[in-house]
Amino acid sequence: MNKILISVVGPTAIGKTKLAILLAQYYDTEIISADSRQFFKEMNIGTAVPTNEELNQAKHHFIQHKNISEPYSVGDFERDAIEKLSYLFKTNEVVIMVGGSGLYVNAVTDGLNYFPTIKADVREALNFELKEHGIKYLQQKLERLDPVYFNKVDIHNPQRVIRALEVTIGSGKPYSSFIDKPKAERGFRVITVGIKADRAIIYDRINHRVDLMLTAGLLEEAKEVLPYRNYNALQTVGYKELFNFFDDQWTLEFAISEIKKYTRRFAKRQLTWFLKNENTIWFDYDYEQNHILNEINTEVLKLKNG
């Protein structure tokens, strides 16, 4: 238990990659990415994958290691990440993890909640209902069958709503009854470091990042992956909106405004998720490097000596 995982969290566009690299260089160690949008080779600009320069500054794992056609669940990631950590801790006292995907971060630090196997026809029926009646119909069904989870989940995410209904209907028990189980035992300790800023600053940084993505070729990247639009990996902000533009449903100007809007909403949900962890050590986005390194190293030494 003298091995330490430093987990860097926070909303999108806040500077997590920069801090992770700073820490990796300070501890002469490697980085595990827990950003589920950055797993796929075909998605580069729209997922803000670290630049080649950043990747060369510190060794990264789980960056563009899958094809979008390959199913890769949070359970798969938990298994692979724990295996990788076991290997890295053989030669490193400290390893860095970075990412804004809260569920994937928690899978590594705390373990996943496990659910019963559900027959495939339950999900098929729910997908049919989504197509025929829309998301609002499924939202109302979830609110009726599992009001506890309804008040926690992002009800505008059809995958999350369908998954909750699938388990609830297939098992006969509310989805919420399967979550919040005791934490998994890990062979390492965790220090969680968060980066935050005023909401206006976060939103400005998001808007600026989207503009930079478009300049870098996001439109062309989205066009290249358009034939694969039905894969789960592409059911994400930054691509779905441009697909609507390609379908002549939206103007490009409106699609861009929607990307910015939904990314801002995503950032708000990220903060809500990460703020639930009372043990997170928070720093402002414009932190002074020596100060943050001293603060984090103090926590590392406490764990090692405690």
Burial of residue 35 (CB within 10 Å: 0-12, 13-18, 19+) is buried
Spell out the long-range contacts of 245-252 with Cβ–Cβ below 8 A and sequence spacing 24 or more. 246/222, 252/219
* 3 state SS of 30: coil
Annotated binding-site residue? 15: yes
Any idea where the domains of the chain sit in the sequence?
A: 4-113+181-305, 120-178
* Per-residue pLDDT reduced to its tens digit, 115-129: 788 888 999 999 999
**Whose CA is closest to 22, among 188, 195, 199?**
195
* 3 state SS of 26: helix
Annotated binding-site residue? 13: yes
Annotated binding-site residue? 51: no
Annotated binding-site residue? 16: yes
Q: Which residues contact 34 (CB under 8 A, 6 or more apart)?
A: 7, 62, 77, 81, 97, 98, 99, 101, 104, 105, 108
How far is it between the farthest Cα atoms of the chain? 61
Annotated binding-site residue? 12: yes
**Whose CA is closest to 9, among 85, 86, 99?**
99
Annotated binding-site residue? 10: yes
* Per-residue pLDDT reduced to its tens digit, 201-258: 999 999 999 999 999 999 999 999 999 999 989 989 999 999 999 999 999 999 999 9
Class of domain 4-113+181-305: alpha beta
* Per-residue pLDDT reduced to its tens digit, 52-110: 999 999 999 999 999 999 989 888 999 999 999 999 999 999 999 999 999 999 999 99
CATH 1.10.20.140 fits 120-178, yes or no: yes
